[in-house]
Amino acid sequence: MAPKTILLFSCLISLFPMAGLTQTMENDEAEIWKMSQIEQRKLDESGYIYQDDTLEAYLNTVLLKVTGTVPLPVVPHVKVLKSPELNAFAFPTGRMYIHTGLLAKLENESQLATLFGHEITHSTHKHAIQGFRHQKSTSDAVAFLGVISGGFGLIGAVANLLGNIGYMASVSGYSKSNETEADEVGFQKMKAAGYNPAEAPALFRILKNDITMEEPDKQAPYFFSSHPKLEDRLKNYQRLLNFSEVRPDSGYVDSVFIKKTRAVLFDNISIDVQAGRFNSAKHSISIYEKRFPGDDRILFRKADLLLKDQPQNSESQEKAMNLFKRIIELDSTLAAPHKELGKWYFKKGESTLAITHFEAYLRLAPQATDRRFIEGYIRKINTKTE
């Protein structure tokens, strides 16, 4: 079946809930399915879904290429979560979520396929129900189906939204043997779909390097942000690769992947900055500049990063202001740089320049939610000069 046909089929399936399909399941499995569907709905309605239909369609085409035909009632489908941390996870239903943070770090479709192959294996091989039954036999079952795990203070907003199924899929991971199985089956799937197997360990090498960028005590709790778990993946995929025929490196550049993920790479820089993940933002900016030289929109991200990363460093602030001036030269219709320049001159006591930029901001963004703030600055300057 062609990927587009499978995609249409999976959309139709998702419109009609699992009526009847769960009837063939044992009680505990049906319960896990119901819990998964509740948790998925919670995530879908959380406001954390990254809205980009073109990207979502592309990701689902890749996912279906990797998974091929899967036994019902599992229906592979992937959505993107606005979250800067490195993670992806799948529910037993086949619904998968990938964080913008992880997507922004990938280099090509083969790495994406590796991730999808690993995750969908957890769904098709029923790792959640195996985990539950194992815990049942070790008397942890009540805890498993009881209160949600939650309680991740710093960062990890998505983790706080998860219930027990999502927690296992996203944070704790499955048993070592289940994870190894997901590595092995996932690897075969990505290879069978025609992807370059050499990219499988490369994916985990990138992730491993990336998690060292932020301070170790402030790491997110997610499975793919865990150093030992990434180390396990890396070893497993390297072993699998050693037994495979490897395509020679032809310096292949995955232009489709790079084009389709352009917006998410760009947007995740802003998400990183909001979350205070400044090193990661810096790294993504350099990747973006390499991939898309001459795209001046990146200047705003760079200036925003300088402002927030080192607010007390006058040299950085000066650099940021020069970037804002450059942005205005390139596009005089943009409002935001005027606001930042207005505030900069306001703090420096340069009233005329401050007012010029504040007025430009209000003219270019008449509906701005912070309009009254800007009017307040202007009033304050006028009161002082009167």
Partner 1 sequence: MKRILISLATLSVLIGCGPEWRTVKGPVIETKSGGVLKAPTGWKYMIKDKQVLITPDSPDLAVLCYQTLDAEKPLARVKQKIQTDMLAEDLAAVITDNYRFTSEYSQFKVVETSPATINENDAFLILSEYKSTDGNPMKMLTMGYSKGNKAYIFEFTAPKRVYFDKMKPEMERIISLFVLQLAE
Binding site for partner 1 (CB under 8 A): 45-48, 153-155, 157-161, 214, 218, 274-278, 308, 311-312, 343, 347, 369-370, 372-373, 376
Rounded distance between C-alpha atoms, residue 154 and residue 218, angstroms: 7
Q: Shortest distance, CB of residue 321 to partner 1, whole angstroms?
A: 15
Q: Shortest distance, CB of residue 82 to partner 1, whole angstroms?
A: 9
Q: Shortest distance, CB of residue 374 to partner 1, whole angstroms?
A: 9
Q: Shortest distance, CB of residue 38 to partner 1, whole angstroms?
A: 12
* The Cα angle at residue 7 between residues 125 and 53, in degrees rounded to 5: 115
312 or 333: whose CB is closer to partner 1? 312
60 or 280: whose CB is closer to partner 1? 280
156 or 186: whose CB is closer to partner 1? 156
9 or 373: whose CB is closer to partner 1? 373
158 or 323: whose CB is closer to partner 1? 158
146 or 194: whose CB is closer to partner 1? 146
The enclosing H or E element of 153 equals none
Q: Shortest distance, CB of residue 336 to partner 1, whole angstroms?
A: 12
Report whether 266 contacts 284 (CB < 8 A).
no
**DSSP states of 223-278 as a string?**
GGG-HHHHHHHHHHHHHHHHTS--PPP-----HHHHHHTHHHHHHHHHHHHHHT-H
The enclosing H or E element of 80 equals strand 77-81
- Angle of helix 336-348 versus helix 314-330 axis, rounded to 10: 140
Q: Shortest distance, CB of residue 370 to partner 1, whole angstroms?
A: 5
Q: Shortest distance, CB of residue 379 to partner 1, whole angstroms?
A: 9
194 or 376: whose CB is closer to partner 1? 376
Rounded distance between C-alpha atoms, residue 161 and residue 368, angstroms: 31
Closest among 183, 185, 169, 192 to 66, alpha carbons compared: 192
Rounded distance between C-alpha atoms, residue 280 and residue 273, angstroms: 9
Q: Please report the sign of the dihedral spanned by the C-alpha atoms of residue 63, residue 124, residue 71, residue 38.
A: negative
Closest among 14, 152, 12 to 83, alpha carbons compared: 152
